[in-house]
Amino acid sequence: MAEKRYEKNELVTLKVEDIGTDGEGIGHVDGYALFVKDAVPGDVIEAKILKAKKNYAYARLEKVLEPSPFRVSAKCKDARACGGCQLQALSYEKELELKAKKVRGNLIRIGGFDESEIDAKTEPIIGMEEPWHYRNKAQYPIGTDREGNVIAGFYAGRTHSIIPNLNCHLGSEVNEALLSAVLDWMKAHHIPAYDETEHKGLVRHVLLREGFATGEVMVCLVINGKALPEQEDLVQRILKSDLGNRVVKSICFSPNTSDTNVIMGKSFEIVYGQGYIEDTIGQVRFRISPLSFYQVNPKQTFRLYSQALEYADLQGSETVWDLYCGIGTISLFLAQRAGKVCGVEIIPQAIDNARENAALNGITNAEFFVGAAESVLPAFYSGELTEVSGGSEEARKDEDFLHPDVIVVDPPRKGCDEACLNTMLQMAPDRIVYVSCDSATLARDLRILCDGGYEIRKIRPVDMFPHTVHVETVCLLSKLNDAKHIRERDMEKRR
Ligand code: SAH
């Protein structure tokens, strides 16, 4: 197809038609594809070829000749340098449209589903009314500028040089005040920022977390050392910052003397208040330490998991598996409406959190297994749970979990392992609710489930991370054939 091969540094004019996986603009010249960072669909641009391959090339945006009707001015002055937001120059409406289109495209192309089937079953994407300040967690690197001033900011795209900026528009509005308090404290006491090339200096990162529903705030300094000096003054400065109606509940530090890119240390010490904040999503309360995982956009998490709950269609007595359950956010959501829920997660600390959160909410019908879903589920199904940890004696013998009513999965980007999908098919639940953060692996897995006797009923994209390229999808599948019949036959075999 490609007849003309471009040379490096050549200038080309093209119209941008789409966005790629990293948010770059994609356009064509004579059937030859060009990937251009910072170009927006609808733009007519002049671009300079950076790297030319046989059928495609990477190019740099030189000039916008005709701006796209969907182009907006980025809210953040450093949007291009940062790279954390790939889509700030695109209107939010168009962003949502393109995200929905991406999910649709993957289901059709990778999953091999019919266009008409996908269109009939897809519900409108759930976006945010106010797509800013949605992140409840920020990790600011601390460094020193050329003049020797301590700075906080973000790493310039794919580098380790810090661009000073205290006001990320995705984070909480009080982050700037909290960071200023920390920087002022460092200046006042000549406390050095960490220098990663020399592996010297003290303050590496500042972690800020906020419970949006509770107004509770946490500040945690990650330090290259074992002790934090001048603690009393740090506390006073943080407590004096203007935080509106929020309350600082926790000030801590986490020692991290390793020479790696890992941000947090392995432990933390309390300097002021308690070692955690609390937040709620829907009716469920969560306790969050500096080290615990917690969804970063709680508002959209509520919507995503409410959608999953609606698709699960629980009446109160159902048996449910929640695979890849993390700290049990979905499990605890489901447990309020189900008979019993069993969560499976590979990270033991996440399961500790899940159990603590269950206890905090007085939820007693949720059990948790630690291990890979693709090991735990087949082991449970074959009755060979000796190698698996977690789960009460009762749960381990509970036959209802052999053929649950619903299985919910929320895997990482790589999707579900085939062994996990195959056991799900054998367990033959009436409904499967698939929560996905990557529609390409979702499409691949849906194909396996549909070939195994399930049918897609509903699909709903949800925008959890406005201005970035990520999009989540919830999908409801139900068993095509007589699920009850298969169950009974299988139970018969076991007896
Ligand atoms: N629903 C969860 C988040 C899911 S993110 C919550 O809201 O807390 C995906 C989770 O899958 C992560 O917690 C990750 O640790 C876990 N995970 C990754 N691979 C896994 C595997 N093979 N088996 C089980 N869990 C896995």
- For the stretch 13-57, pLDDT in tens is 999 999 998 999 999 998 889 999 999 999 999 999 999 988 899
Atom of ligand 1 nearest to the CA of 347: 15
Q: Is the pLDDT of residue 490 over 70?
A: no
Tell me which residue has tokens 């220098």.
195
Q: Of how many residues is the chain composed? A: 495
Give the pLDDT of residue 6: 83
HSE of 424 in the Cβ direction (CA atoms, 13 Å)?
A: 33
Nearest to 392 by CA among 340, 333, 439, 349: 340
Beta strands at 25-29 and 11-19: parallel, antiparallel or unpaired: antiparallel
Task: Output the six-digit token pair for 367.
Answer: 């059990």
CB 431 within 8 A of CB 476: yes
pLDDT of res. 115: 97
Please give the helix or strand (H or E) that residue 393 lies within, else none.
helix 393-397
CA within 13 Å, CB half, 117: 10
Q: How much is the average pLDDT of 445-467?
A: 97
Burial class (CB in 10 A: 0-12, 13-18, 19+), 231: middle
**Whether the predicted pLDDT of 217 surpasses 70:** yes
Pocket test for ligand 1, best of 300, 324, 356, 417 (most atoms within 8 A of CB): 324
What pLDDT score does 494 carry?
A: 64
Find residue 368's DSSP bridge partners. 343
- Which tens digits make up the pLDDT trace of 112-147? 999 999 999 999 999 999 999 999 999 999 999 999
Q: Is 437 a catalytic residue?
A: yes
Q: Which residues contact 389 (CB under 8 A, 6 or more apart)?
A: 348, 369, 370, 371
* Ligand 1 atom nearest to CA at 294: 8
Three-state secondary structure call for residue 394: helix
pLDDT of residue 5: 74
> What integer is the mean pLDDT of 362-378?
97
If you ran DSSP here, which 8-state letter would residue 90 be given? B
Q: How wide is the angle at C-alpha 417 spanned by C-alphas 407 and 330, nearest 5°?
A: 35
98: tokens are 């393109």
User: Does residue 385 register a pLDDT over 90?
Assistant: no
Instruction: Give the model's confidence band at 81: pLDDT under 50 very low, under 70 low, under 90 confident, else very high.
Output: confident
Torsion angle in degrees (nearest 10) through CA of 345, 424, 395, 294: 30
Distance of CA 338 to the CA centre of its chain: 26
How many other CB atoms are there within 10 angstroms of residue 309's CB atom? 20
Q: What is the mean pLDDT of the chain?
A: 94
Tell whether the model's pLDDT for residue 74 goes beyond 60. Answer: yes
Answer yes or no: is pLDDT of 107 > 70: yes
Q: Which residues pair with 220 in a beta bridge?
A: 207, 252
Block residue for tokens 């399930």 = 454
Gyration radius from the chain CA atoms: 25
Nearest CA to ligand 1 atom 12: 326
Which carries the bigger pLDDT value, residue 261 or residue 331?
Answer: 331
Cα distance between residue 251 and residue 235, in whole Å: 7
Residue with tokens 């449970």: 380
Quick check: 381 and 402 in contact, CB under 8 A?
yes
Where residue 82 falls among pLDDT bands split at 50, 70, 90?
Answer: confident
The DSSP bridge pattern shows strands 366-370 and 389-390 to be antiparallel
- Closest residue by CA, ligand 1 atom 3: 326
In sequence order, what are the residues at sequence separation of 6 or more whose Cβ sits closer than 8 angstroms to the Cβ of residue 231?
271, 272
Is residue 258 pLDDT above 80, yes or no?
Answer: yes
Task: Read off the pLDDT band of 486 (50, 70, 90).
Answer: low
Catalytic residue among 76, 437, 450, 475: 437
Ligand 1 neighbours (beta carbon < 6 A)? 295, 324-327, 329-330, 344-347, 350, 372-374, 410-412
Atom of ligand 1 nearest to the CA of 412: 9
Mutate to test the pocket of ligand 1, among 286, 345, 389 (most ligand atoms within 8 A of CB): 345
Lowest mean pLDDT among 238-252, 269-283, 386-400: 386-400
Give me ligand 1 centre to Cα 94, in Å: 30
Asked if the model's pLDDT at residue 273 lies above 90, the reply is yes
Q: Give the residue among 156, 152, 155 at the shortest CA–CA distance from 166.
A: 152
Q: 489 or 238: which carries more pLDDT confidence? A: 238
Residue 73 sits at φ, ψ, to 5 deg, of -85, 135
| Amino acid 493: pLDDT | 62
**Would you place residue 2 in the very low, low, confident or very high pLDDT band (cuts 50, 70, 90)?**
very low
Q: What share of the chain is helix, strand, coil (3-state, %, to 5)?
A: 30, 30, 40
pLDDT of residue 160: 85
| Phi/psi at 170 (5° precision) | -85, -20
| Lateral strand order in the sheet of 366-370 | 389-390, 366-370, 340-345, 319-323, 406-409, 431-436, 472-479, 454-462
Note whether 220 and 195 are within 8 A (CB).
no
pLDDT at residue 484 above 90? no
| Percentage of the chain lying above the pLDDT 90 cut | 87
Q: What is the CA(244)–ligand 1 centre distance, in A?
A: 35
Q: Is the pLDDT of residue 86 over 80?
A: yes
Q: Which helix (H) or strand (E) holds 187?
A: helix 175-188
pLDDT tens column, 296-324: 999 999 999 999 999 999 999 999 999 99
Q: How far apart are the first and last CA of the chain?
A: 62
The rounded Å distance from CA 161 to ligand 1 centre is 32
Return d(Cα 423, Cα 447) in angstroms, integer.
15
Element (H, E) at 353: helix 348-360
pLDDT score for 137: 98
Of 48, 70, 43, the C-alpha closest to 61 is 48
Q: Which of 157-171, 299-313, 327-341 has the lowest mean pLDDT?
A: 157-171
For residue 492, the CA-to-ligand 1 centroid distance in Å is 34
Question: Would the pLDDT of 411 be above 90?
Answer: yes
- pLDDT tens profile 240-257: 999 999 999 999 999 999
| Residue 165: closest CA among 201, 141, 132 | 141
pLDDT band at 491 (very low <50, low <70, confident <90, very high): low
Q: Give kind and range of the element (H or E) at residue 80.
A: helix 79-82
Residue 329 scores a pLDDT above 90: yes
Segment holding 321, helix H or strand E: strand 319-323
Q: For residue 291, how far is its CA from the centre of ligand 1 (angstroms)? A: 16
